[in-house]
Structure 1
Amino acid sequence: MELEYLYPSPFKTLISFHLLIEQLEEIAKSDIEYRANYAKSLLKQVEDKPELINGIQDVSFIKENETTIRNLLADLFPTVLTHNEIKAVTLPFINFTFNYTERFKKILNSSGTTFDFEIRDFDEHQFYIMNCHIILNIYYNQNIDNRQPLFYDIPDENGIMNHYRILYNADFIEVIPTDKMIPLSQEEIYELIDNYDDLALWKEKFPPNSWILKGFGIVTLVDVTVESAVSNLKTNLLKSEVEKHNFEHDFEDIFKSIFKTKDVKIGFAKYNDYTANFEKSFFNEDKLVSYLLHDIEDVNCESVLCNFTLESLLDKKEKIVVSDVEKFQSIALAKRLLKQNIKSCILVPIIKDNKLLGIIEVVSSISRALNSINANKIDLILPYIVDTVERSYNEIENLEQAIIQKEYTTIHPSVYWKFKKEAQNYISSASNTKDYIFKEITFKEIYPLYGQIDIKGSSEKRNQTVKSDLKSQIEALIDIVSTIKESNDLIILDQKMFELMGFLEELNSPLKADTEQQIQRYIETEIHPIAESAKAISTVEVKIKDYFESLDPKTGMFYKSRKDFDYTLSVINKKMASILDEKQAEAQKIYPHYYERFKTDGVEHNLYIGATIAPSVPFDKIYLNNLRLWQLQTLCEMELEHHKIKETLPFVLEVTSLILVFSSPLSIRFRMDEKRFDVDGSYNARYEIVKKRIDKAHILGTQERITSKEKITIVYSHSHEEVEYLKYIKFLQYKNILEPSIEQFEIEELQGVSGLKALRVKVVNDIVLDKKYSYQDLLNEIS
């Protein structure tokens, strides 16, 4: 029977002892008589067996000459170490082995199987490339570090899985090329090293059976059962919930390997700090078993533990080891354990930040299987268990929030309480029905505040940057095609020049919706292939190289002007939003209110204030006045910040600010389909209509927009709103935040909305705001 690999290999394998025999021949010439005689004796035994030198292909030869081979390998397999070392003869990465040490034989006999198991997590890809590494290192002297931990998992007679690290000695292996071998240059070797994942490339350079692997290797196994079990435990604890479908079984198998006994089970009792109870806990949707609790859901700790165990576990937070439970039959805990056929146990408190989270229960039905000596192995894995239990607790504590985010959205803290209440209703009913219908969340009789700081003319400027980049790119391509034409006077190049010039002319007109896509498609399909094919022309080589280096990696187009615009827009939005968020934290101290903001070409914000949002805090309209004054001052700060940074940005963009005043209380409802709040009721819809259309509105009878750079526009409907905001404006003028001039005008009729008016005032752009004024400050100034 010929030796065959499990997977295709670049090697044809010959088991040979030629290198060892050559060493014996040298020893036979030695002046040390006993060494020389020993070597000659061995050589005498093998002289009529040329296969040992030329190579063994039929593995039955090894069985027939087992004694001769064992004698030949005696120096490498010393008899005095045969009961200690786990060694055998093999070839790297294959399962065929022979000449086992006695300890290796004992392990195989205990497993009840022949040595035909596979290397853990070792696939065809790894097998082929690691064989190629042998060739690169031995034949091409590359010194590639291909070392990675390889393991065998071998069960013992009790079914406990033991883990062994594999070590190879390849001193007696020779790599010989065949006529199928493909010689490799250093550049080709570098290409292979840089493409580990390309198995097809490796097979191309090292075809199957193109090399001979001649000789033998020595495999040594090191028992790393505990270390591997700890590593597997870490891996299991880090798995996602989806991957933990067989977690409890895997978990117990790991503990069996750690404690070297098949009779080990794991339980867990959660500790409730508020009630001082032990409770059964959930993990991966299944209730974990607890041997402390047995058949009850929860119980007071004092009812389960005696004074000693109570003090050790809860007060001192030390583990308890009972190697023989039957010795303590008079104690209630021992009775409960014996009822479950538990004869030895280890109880380990799970502590995080000096807080008791629960008790890990390691139990066995075998007396003294668990004891004070092997209990110390728990210390190896305890940190990972602690972290996992804490993570599980955090997940449970965050369940309400998870439900809210799934069924609703990320909720502002001011209204979180109402969503939490609905989540609690769901949790309390979840055990009874799966058809719970989430209620819509509404807040009635609340006052809205809307404001925005908008990038002035952003659409036009964005189109300008698109045109600028497209023009630059087309001009560069016209230059390239023109230069190519000097060397290759092809008619098709005239046509391409004409088409490019046409696009350039088209860009002098207003940009159409699909112009950019048309030009990009044309360049990629019609012009780039020409440029690629002309790279070898010396007169245009540098231009083409510079052109392609100028392309944006993501879009494949020129992106300088657009990049400057996008960067500027991003900086402005980020800065404006950060000011608004920072000031909003202060505003919440005025009165709890709902807040949301949106970043588009600028920053918009919505505020809603009223008693229904904060039912525990008495509401008064003075809080609304304060919030309106806060909003006006915050927009002033945002205007000032923009004025300060705009000259430092690569693209000059102006901003305009707007406040919409709406004094009638309205209702907002959380839209389940859109996962956001919206005004509720047809009457209140007028407010939303105005919000969406007001920033593009004109002053009545003119073509001038109501918003203007460095000015804040305040839109209102009623005279009392005008009076209120004039007070705010005059107060801020007095504080030298707003300029003295105030513009007042009517706004053109919007679709379905008429009678709107506005105030417009300019922000003083050379001051430093170091104080926020309240409505009370305004009243104090008036009085």
Structure 2
Amino acid sequence: MSFEKQFDNPFRIEISFHKVIEALEEIAMSDVDFRANYAKGLLAEVAKVPELRTGISDLSKISEHAELIRHLLADLFPTALSKNEIKAVTIPFHQIIFNHTERFQNILLNAGPDFDMGIRDFDEHQFYVMSSCMILKFYYGYDVDFARPVFYDIPEADGSVKHYRILYNADFLEIFKTDDAPDITPEDIALLIDNFDNFDLWKEKFPVDSWILRGFGIMNLYDNTVESAVSLLKESLLTTEKKRDENDTDVLQGIFRSIFKIRNLRLGFAEFHPEEQKFRVANFGSHIPSVLLGGKMERPYEEICGCSMDELVTDAKYLAISDVKKFAEDFPEEKDFANHLLSQDVQSCIFAPIMKNGRVLGVFEVVSSVPKELNSINANKLDFVLPFITDTMDRYYSEKQNYIDAIIQKEYTAIHPSVYWKFREEADLHTIPENADKPFREIIFKDVYPMYGQIDIKGSSVARNEAMQRDLKLQIEMLLNLLRDLSKRHKLPLIEQHLFELEKMEGQILESLKADSESIVQNYIFNEIHPMLDHFRSDAQIAKKIGQYESQLDPAINMVYKERKNFDDTLSLINKKMAAVLDKKQEEAQEFFPHYYERFKTDGVEHNLYIGASIAPKKAYNPIYLDNLRLWQLQAMCDLEIEYFRLRPGLPYELDVTSLILVYSVPISIRFRMDEKRFDVDGTYNARYEVVKKRIDKSHIKGTGERIVQAGKITIVYSQNQEEAEYRRYIRLLQYKNRLGNNVESFEVEDLQGVTGLRALRVEVLYQVTPDGENYTFDDLVKELDLKP
């Protein structure tokens, strides 16, 4: 039978020892009698098996004549070195291996009967190309460098894996061309060296079984475990976050077990935050546990540290403990730290600080449940690997910082992504050394069309004052009841004085709340009432009543804060939800055409939009994008109104909202104000737009006392007839889509300071469409659900 093929092969394999036999024939003819006699005797035995010279293609012949082959190769496999060398006869890159040294046989025996002898990361394509390259080099003499490191990963009896580098000796191999092999021309070689990945081309030029590989090769292995493990570690650490999976920790653990030759070795890592003096769980890649943290997400440094940990973090030295129990006995001051380790079955351990540019990034942990397995000697093996871990940690923290900066950029600054390119362009100029001292140029976008909208809390100032009034009234009444009880037990004129003053304050608050009313009442209670109450805590009955009073106070400010808290929470919830909805919809709107967007949370949510060719100069701008954005804005305001009505039943404080859109068809310029770190309109002429924005929502319908904004309706303020016509078209579309009601009001807006001639449309929002097609306006729902308007 022929040799079994692992893959398709351009070679027909013939194992032949003709070169060794020829060398023996020369020795047999030499003058050294004992050598000649040995060679003659061995040649006589070889002559009985002619296939040893002509070529063996049947694997069974190798096994049948194994003893004779061993003697034939005795000069190449000295008996004295059999227990030291890891060596065997092979054909390069093939799984034909025999005549192992004793050490090699023991390694395979320890690997177990199920071990498959395969080269690491070696596929059919690589095998075929490298076999073909052997032909190019040894037959055609073309010096193609096909050498690459190849490895065997062979398990040990204890479960650890050792990595062996394979070295081939091909001195005893010859290559012969058959009639089936096409001639390889220089043009073919030029084509092949540029097409490594074209598997079909290699098979075309070197067909299967078209060449003969005769002879044998010698394979030498050397233990490359540490170097190979370090290489695998680098490969694993360089893998991008997206490609990592939950097995990464197991892979790393296997690598370190190979390096330290410890079967039960475990790894850990804890981030160190010097600003807060805390250790925290690291969240990069898959989850890596930490024995320092002991299952917690974070722990203060002082909770863990002893003198040894101080040395670890401060002096950046390895902390190696070979026997944790003995460590606790020898250093009583470290007992808590040692018990913390023992509770996690850590009997020996190494802690290594990960440092970059003088900063401790974290602590790398190598631990074992067997005493003495880890110690100060094998801790030095970390010198090989810590630089790679340090670079990986540094890269991770850099990426993390970039991500944090991106969040800050998005959530906390005025530099919107649509205009970020302009800031980057300017900053990039200042990275050139000769520009470093030049002043920064102002960022200006000319000829952009502004759009403004707001969803505002109706009567927020009044609602806030009412909440304050109720809180102050409740606290004063509680104090009045407490002081009345106190005056019955302690007849002091001062108590009567406080009763009189509190009753007067209550009357003033109920009559009219002033700007300083809250601070006056609060100062009086803090400076006059509370100190007096503290004096009477020795009276058990009064102390009980004082405790009941204090239980109604907010611990943060020591005042009744129930109604104001409900109001603040409601305002915060409305703003957060409205801003989130608007931001989400803005992401979709940016797909139409890039435009600048900013929003502000006040008593409601305001937003500014600016669109124009200067915002995205690399894209073709058309006025259709402005029309599209205006329609989008109107739809977005409908969505915000509907979202608020869904939110309203669950709010702790009952409030209404009003919606407003300001239409402005004259292009303006906006400039980034360096001192304020935000965009503003540029120039006196453009300031008219800002004046309108700031005053329009509080204005009235001309000739009346009615506000232009109302709950349940969207008000659209404009100044030109074509703007009215445009928005009436949008309204008709949204009416058709059951988003807006049929009732559209039109009126003039009262004159503002320096601004006249404004007009407005006001249209109802439809909040719900029932299965039978019935639409509800805000007023309908208020009546239906018996809500307070």
TM-score bracket for the superposition, by shorter chain length: 0.5 to 0.7
Aligned to 1:665: 693
| CA–CA distance in structure 2, aligned partners of residues 449 and 245 of structure 1 | 46
8 Å contact from structure 1 (residues 270, 358) kept in 2: yes
Which whole-Å CA distance do the structure 1 matches of 2:102 and 2:363 have between them? 43
What's the counterpart of residue 204 of structure 1? 204
CA distance in 1, matches of 2:252, 2:606: 56
Is 100-109 or 191-200 further displaced after alignment? 191-200
- Provide the residue aligned with 1:131 in structure 2: 131
Letter paired with 2:298: D
Residue 255 (structure 1) aligns with? 256
AA partner of residue 674 (structure 2): K
Deviations 1:222-272 (A, max 9, x none): 211111111111111121223233111111111101101111001122222
CA distance in 1, matches of 2:377, 2:272: 27
- Which of 668, 673, 676 pairs up with 1:588? 673
Alignment of 1:447-462 (within 5 A): none
Query: Contact 1:662 / 1:687 at 8 angstroms: preserved in 2?
Result: no
1:449-488 pair list within 5 angstroms: none
Q: Is the 8 A contact 2:229 2:258 kept in 1?
A: yes
Change (3 A) 1:47 1:278: same
Secondary structure, counterpart of 2:213 in structure 1: strand
CA contact (8 A) 1:317 1:349 kept: yes
Consecutive unaligned residues of structure 2, counting only runs of 5 or more, are 330-334, 421-575, 584-598, 621-668, 697-712, 727-750, 756-760, 762-789
Which residue of the partner structure matches residue 160 of structure 2? 160
Could you tell me which amino acid in structure 1 is paired with residue 121 of structure 2?
D
Q: Which amino acid aligns with 1:138?
A: F
Task: Tell me, in whole angstroms, the C-alpha distance in 2 between the residues paired with 1:165 and 1:455.
Answer: 57
The CA distance in 1 between the partners of 2:414 and 2:247, in whole Å, is 33
CA distance in 2, matches of 1:178, 1:254: 46
What residue in structure 2 maps to residue 62 of structure 1? 62
Instruction: For residue 250 of structure 1, give the secondary structure of its aligned residue in structure 2.
Output: helix
Distance 1:292 1:270 in 2: 10
Amino acid at match of 1:37: N
CA contact (8 A) 2:90 2:96 kept: yes
Task: Give, in whole Å, the separation in 1 of the partners of 2:232 and 2:272.
Answer: 27
Name the counterpart of 1:40: 40
Match of 1:94 in 2: 94
Matches of 1:297 and 1:190, distance apart in 2: 59
| SS of residue matched to 2:364 | strand
Taking the aligned partners of 1:284 and 1:365, their CA distance within structure 2 comes to: 26
For residue 6 of structure 1, give the secondary structure of its aligned residue in structure 2. coil
| Structural mapping, 1:563-642, within 5 Å | 588-594=673-679, 609=680, 627-628=682-683
Partner of 2:316: 317
SS in 2 for 1:134: helix
Identify which range, 393-402 or 91-100, moves more after superposition. Answer: 393-402
Tell me what 1:225 maps to. 225
Q: Distance in 1 between matches of 2:311 and 2:209?
A: 66
Counterparts of 1:316-715 in structure 2 under 5 Å? 316-330=315-329, 331-397=335-401, 400=404, 411-412=415-416, 438-440=580-582, 442-443=599-600, 588-594=673-679, 609=680, 627-628=682-683, 663-665=691-693, 683=716
Q: CA deviation at 1:299?
A: 2.5
Number of aligned residue pairs: 494
TM-superposition CA deviations, 1:284-304 (whole Å, max 9, x none)? 363x32112214333222222
Distance 2:319 2:184 in 1: 64
Kept after mapping to 1: 8 A contact 2:15/2:216: yes
Q: Which residue of 1 aligns with 2:547?
A: none
1:174 partner SS? strand
Counterpart of 1:326, as a letter, is K
Task: Supply the distance in 1 between the matched residues of 2:176 and 2:103 (Cα, whole angstroms).
Answer: 34
Q: Which residue of 2 aligns with 1:268?
A: 269
Q: The residue matched to 1:340 in structure 2 has which SS?
A: coil
Q: RMSD of the TM alignment (CA)? A: 4.5
What whole-Å deviation, never above 9, does each CA across 1:538-568 have from its counterpart, x for those lacking one?
xxxxxxxxxxxxxxxxxxxxxxxxxxxxxxx
The answer as to whether partners of 2:89 and 2:219 remain within 8 angstroms in 1 is yes
Structure 1 pair 588/28, CA: closer, same or farther in 2 (3 Å)?
farther
Displacement of 1:402 in angstroms is 5.4
**Distance in 2 between the 1:193 and 1:449 partners?**
56
Distance (Å, rounded) in 1 between the aligned partners of 2:720 and 2:262: 73
- Which residue in the other structure is 2:758 paired with? none
Alignment match, 1:756 = none
**TM-score, length-normalised on structure 1?**
0.56
**Greater gyration radius:** 2
Given that 1:154 and 1:161 are in contact with CA atoms closer than 8 Å, whether structure 2 keeps it comes out as yes
1:18/1:663 Cα in 2 relative to 1: closer, same or farther (>3 Å)? Answer: same
- Per-residue deviation, residues 661-695 of structure 1 (Å, max 9, x unmatched): 77532699xxxxxxxxxxx98646779999xx9xx
Return the alpha-carbon distance in structure 2 between the equivalents of residues 660 and 17 of structure 1.
99
Structure 1 residue matching 2:692: 3-state secondary structure: coil
**Matched residue of 1:77: which SS?**
coil
Question: For residues 336 and 436 of structure 1, do their structure 2 counterparts lie closer, same or farther at Cα, with a shift above 3 Å needed?
Answer: farther
Mapped to 1, the partners of 2:616 and 2:346 lie a distance apart of 73
Structure 1 residues 29 and 364: CA distance shift in structure 2, 3 A: same
Residue 191 (structure 1) shift: 2.0
Write the mapping of 1:79-90 to structure 2, written as runs, cut at 5 A: 79-90=79-90
Contact 1:111 1:155 in 2 (8 A): yes
For the residue of structure 2 that corresponds to 1:342, the secondary structure is: coil
Contact 2:419/2:615, CA 8 A, preserved across alignment: no
Counterpart amino acid of 1:125? Answer: H
* Mapped partners of 2:305, 2:606: distance in 1: 56
Aligned counterparts of 1:356 and 1:19: Cα–Cα separation in 2: 62
Looking at structure 1, the residues matched to 418 and 143 of structure 2 have their Cα atoms a distance apart, in angstroms, of: 64
Mapped partners of 1:35, 1:410: distance in 2: 92
Tell me if the contact between 1:414 and 1:593 (Cα under 8 Å) persists in the aligned partners: no
C-alpha separation between the residues in 1 aligned to 2:289 and 2:343? 15
Q: CA deviation at 1:355?
A: 1.4
Aligned equivalents of 2:355, 2:688: Cα separation in 1: 55
How big is each residue's C-alpha offset from its partner over 1:37-86, in whole Å with a ceiling of 9 and x where there is no partner?
A: 34323222211110101111221211121121111111111222222221
CA pair 76-292 structure 1, distance change in 2 beyond 3 A: same
Residue in 1 aligned with 2:461?
A: none
Residue 110 of structure 2 aligns with which residue?
Answer: 110
Whether the 8 Å contact between 2:13 and 2:214 is mirrored in structure 1 is yes
Deviation, structure 1 residue 324:
1.1
Deviation at 1:26, TM superposition (A): 2.5
Does the 8 Å CA contact 2:165/2:224 hold for their aligned counterparts?
A: yes
Identity percentage over the alignment? 44
Q: Distance in 1 between matches of 2:3 and 2:608?
A: 85
Cα distance in structure 2, aligned partners of 1:455 and 1:403: 23
User: What's the offset of the Cα at 1:162?
Assistant: 1.0
Whole-Å Cα distance in 1 between the matches of residues 721 and 394 of structure 2? 46
Hey, what's the Cα distance between the residues in 1 that align with 2:133 and 2:322? 52
Q: Cα gap change, 1:407/1:150 in structure 2, threshold over 3 Å: closer, same or farther?
A: farther
Q: Distance in 2 between matches of 1:193 and 1:688?
A: 73
What CA distance in whole angstroms lies between the structure 2 residues aligned with 1:149 and 1:450?
59
Q: 1:326 to 1:209 in 2, by over 3 A?
A: same
| C-alpha spacing 1:451/1:269, structure 2 compared with 1 (3 Å) | closer
Counterparts of 1:298 and 1:81 in 2: how far apart (Å)? Answer: 56
Shift of 1:89: 0.2
Q: Would you say the 8 A contact 1:446–1:665 is kept in 2?
A: no
Structure 1 gap ranges (5+): 417-434, 460-580, 595-608, 610-623, 633-658, 669-679, 694-717, 723-751, 753-783
Once the two structures are TM-superposed, the CA of residue 214 in structure 1 deviates from its matched residue by 0.9
